């Protein structure tokens, strides 16, 4: 049967030019500030959350300005050139934090309701580390039922672009960007030290027609 696709959802991806230096600086920053990993509902999944409870975004820390500017530039290009939204200014980082997933760790399905665009940057990623998956709203059991018909049939054991949850195998040093409403996660991690930075973005000026407001992120003093 012939088919054609409608309403695709783009995922932005771009490689940072100097991940080696960023990785070294991030590790030294974690040790210098004695930031602690906090277990996140899984014995093998941890987030650095000591700063987030005080409204501090990781990418506003010392020595990360160039990288923060780069991710904001990439997100701005993604929103303007790929999604084709009109921006009065640029996209800005409103929240960011470090994740550590060890072997057998899992990040369950979730989405970010407090942002317009979300993304993950992979500081340390090897072939044994789990890929990122996005939940297909038409077939995934974890997606809100409002997006699924009430009538259901048993599916064959297939996992193609129509019947499964799309997987992305990132590269170390790669930034992935997507609309924040997309549900995502990872599972099947086979090796320790899967380290990434989660990032939320908002337009610095939110405006649609006559009404709008400016966004100011909380940051470290």
Looking at residue 53, what is its pLDDT? 65
Using 70 as the pLDDT threshold, list the residues of the chain that sit under it: 34-36, 39-41, 49-54, 140-152, 157, 219-221
Which tens digit of pLDDT belongs to each residue from 86-109? 999 999 999 999 999 999 998 888
Looking at residue 180, what is its pLDDT? 95
The distance of Cα 160 from the centroid of its chain, to the nearest Å, equals 23
Residue 153 burial by CB count (10 A; 0-12/13-18/19+): exposed, middle or buried?
A: exposed
Closest-CA residue to 37 (of 192, 221, 186): 192
Query: 37 is written with which tokens?
Result: 């990993």
Distances 88 to 79, 204, 207, 214 between C-alpha atoms, Å: 12, 8, 8, 10
Closest-CA residue to 204 (of 81, 91, 75): 91
- 118 and 78 in contact (C-beta within 8 Å)? no
Looking at residue 51, what is its pLDDT? 63
Looking at residue 7, what is its pLDDT? 86
Looking at residue 109, what is its pLDDT? 86
Report pTM: 0.90
């Amino acid at each position: 049967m012939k088919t054609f696709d409608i309403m695709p959802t783009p995922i932005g991806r771009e490689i940072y030019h100097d991940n080696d230096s960023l990785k070294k600086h991030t590790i030294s920053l974690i040790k210098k500030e004695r930031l602690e990993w906090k277990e996140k509902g899984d014995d093998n999944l941890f987030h650095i959350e000591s700063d987030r409870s005080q409204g501090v975004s990781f990418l506003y820390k010392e020595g990360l300005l160039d990288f923060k500017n780069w991710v904001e530039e990439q997100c701005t290009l993604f929103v303007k050139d790929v999604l084709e939204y009109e921006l009065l200014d640029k996209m800005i980082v409103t929240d960011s934090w470090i994740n550590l997933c060890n072997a057998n760790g899992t990040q369950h399905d979730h989405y970010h309701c407090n942002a317009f665009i979300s993304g993950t940057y992979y500081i340390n990623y090897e072939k044994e580390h789990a890929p990122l998956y996005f939940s297909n709203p038409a077939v995934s059991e974890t997606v809100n039922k409002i997006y699924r018909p009430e009538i259901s049939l048993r599916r064959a054991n297939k996992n193609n672009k129509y019947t499964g949850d799309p997987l992305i195998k990132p590269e170390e040093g790669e930034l992935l960007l997507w609309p924040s409403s997309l549900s995502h996660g990872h599972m099947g991690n086979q090796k320790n030290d899967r380290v990434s930075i989660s990032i939320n973005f908002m337009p610095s000026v939110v405006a649609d027609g006559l009404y709008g407001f400016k966004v100011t992120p909380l940051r470290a003093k």
